[in-house]
Amino acid sequence: MAVSLNKGQKLSLEKSGGGSLTRVFMGLGWDAVAKGLFRKKAVDIDLDASVLLFDAQRRLVDEVWFQQLRSKDGSVVHSGDNLTGEGEGDDEVVHIDLPAVPAQVQTLVFTVSSFTGQDFSQVQNAVCRLVDAAQPQPVELARYELSDAGPHTAQIMAKLTREGSGWAMTAIGAPAQGRHIRDLRDAVAAHV
């Protein structure tokens, strides 16, 4: 059963019974707020999931987003850009092969930004979830509801950090301003 995280809460990602996770994915889902007399969507909202990889000195090593779908070493892969958030389940997914993440990378920070510029007061049901993808049937480990509606156009969602031979997930949920990952680098650095 998945753990529902609150802002600032941290979860060790060791498997029950010991051992380390190998393949996980961070899924992002969202819907546009329904508006108008017949509660129809006003406009599609293009949210973009991204991940920034940092070393122990908090220096940016690499980034994965809709214009660079794979990290330089291939350990982190983005599923591609969903322009509307339509449909059930994850709208964008970032796959991580944890043993293949280079040893110099200590932190992966996940963000979501509104490429089309709408703010988060126009977004509902936004969630990020970490899933163990190495199982025959993927198992959701943790989820974080992005419940902070407001005038921000981005959120720093969560991070994965190395802890000894394993990893931990921390829910961040910090509002930010920006339409792409380039706009968020400074805001993200404060959470590494």
The CATH number covering residue 128 comes to 2.60.60.30
**Spatial distance between the Cα atoms of 8 and 37, rounded to a whole number of angstroms:** 38
Beta-carbon contacts of 5 under 8 Å, excluding residues fewer than 6 positions away, are 11, 142, 143, 144, 158, 169, 171
Work out the percent of the chain whose per-residue pLDDT is above 70: 85
- Per-residue pLDDT averaged across 141-163, rounded? 85
Asked if residue 38 belongs to a domain, the reply is no
Asked if residue 141 belongs to a domain, the reply is yes
Q: What domain range is 29 assigned to?
A: 3-33+44-189
Asked if residue 107 belongs to a domain, the reply is yes
User: Which tops the pLDDT comparison, 20 or 153?
Assistant: 153
Beta-carbon contacts of 47 under 8 Å, excluding residues fewer than 6 positions away, are 28, 30, 82, 85, 91, 92, 112, 113, 114, 115, 123, 126
Asked if residue 39 belongs to a domain, the reply is no
Write the pLDDT tens digit of every residue in 29-53.
Answer: 777 776 655 555 456 677 888 999 9
Whether residue 123 is predicted with pLDDT greater than 70 in this model: the reply is yes
Asked if residue 104 belongs to a domain, the reply is yes
Give the helix ranges, DSSP H, for the chain. 181-189
Q: How many domains does the chain have?
A: 1
